[in-house]
Amino acid sequence: MSSVFALLLARESRLLFRRPAELANPLVFFAIVIALFPLAVGPESQLLQTLSPGLVWVAALLAVLLSLDGLFRSDFEDGSLEQWVVSPQPLALLVLAKVLAHWLFTGLALVLLSPLLALMLGLPPRCLPVLLLSLLLGTPVLSLLGAVGAALTVGLKRGGLLLALLILPLYIPVLILGSGALQADLQGLPTAGHLLWLATLTALAVTLTPFAIAAGLKISVGE
């Protein structure tokens, strides 16, 4: 069972690396959105610094959302999902591996890129640990929740907008806690509370959403 998990991770990574453009898209989007703000708001470092926690988080959230639309699309179209559903392997485990692979190459890459962009917005370097930690805890939740929406909309021809409408409301708690932690850190307040709540969401998402994703995929495949 765990070997299938590892094999699927390897397969998904291989697929992502053979389509490097798709890997780069969310990262480029993230970088450009953040780079637009200093241009639009003006180079007042105080104002940008105050805004930076929210800006980084909103940009990361939209970048993850952008990357999710196609998460299951090609597997749906080429019949891979049918093979997963009829196989003896637990579907929830397979989708967890799939989303984990996706997160490793989009979510984790966003996390690694974020310090550079946050410094561009004037976030003081002492806030970087909290920035990294909050994104590290928050982006898996974004990927997993988004995968639930992607699973439900995979059968639709233009599911992109519907996906955003379904999923964005669910992203609100993550956004509040994530940017809240960073805001608190910026003002020199303790951040443990925010981060622990964020970690709770991560634990809940990792344990519960695979079942919801699997159920959504079964519905989409059964149409």
Partner 1 sequence: MSRPFLEAVALTCERDWRLLFEALDLRLMPGDMLQIVGPNGSGKTSLLRLLCGLMQPTAGEVRLQGEPLAAQRGELARNLLWIGHAAGIKGLLTPEENLAWLCALHQPAERQAIWQALAAVGLRGFEDVPSHRLSAGQQRRVALARLYLDAPPLWILDEPFTALDKQGVAQLEAHLAGHCERGGMVVLTTHHTLENKPSGYRELDLGQRAA
Q: What is the three-class DSSP state of 106?
A: coil
DSSP letter for each residue of 111-134 = HHHHHHHHHHTT--GGGHHHHHHH
Q: Token pair for residue 167?
A: 């999923």
- Comparing CB distances to partner 1, the nearer of 49 and 80 is 80
| Cβ at position 32, least distance to partner 1 in Å | 27
8 A C-beta contact, residue 133 and residue 178: no
| Cβ at position 102, least distance to partner 1 in Å | 15
Q: Token pair for residue 185?
A: 């850190």
| Cβ at position 208, least distance to partner 1 in Å | 21
- Comparing CB distances to partner 1, the nearer of 16 and 58 is 16
Q: Which of 206, 137, 207 is nearest to 174 (CA)?
A: 137
| Cβ at position 65, least distance to partner 1 in Å | 24
- Comparing CB distances to partner 1, the nearer of 79 and 124 is 79
- Comparing CB distances to partner 1, the nearer of 22 and 51 is 22
- Comparing CB distances to partner 1, the nearer of 3 and 46 is 3
Q: How far is CA 147 from CA 59, 68, 123, 179, 194, in A?
A: 18, 7, 31, 22, 24
| Cβ at position 145, least distance to partner 1 in Å | 26
Residue labelled with tokens 């003896």: 88
- Comparing CB distances to partner 1, the nearer of 8 and 95 is 8
Residues that bind partner 1 (CB under 8 A): 3-4, 7-8, 11, 14-15, 18-19, 74, 77-80, 82-89, 221-222
Q: How far is CA 206 from CA 93, 163, 172, 202, in A?
A: 11, 20, 18, 6
Q: Give 39: exposed, middle or buried? Use CB within 10 Å, 0-12, 13-18, 19+.
A: exposed
| Cβ at position 35, least distance to partner 1 in Å | 31
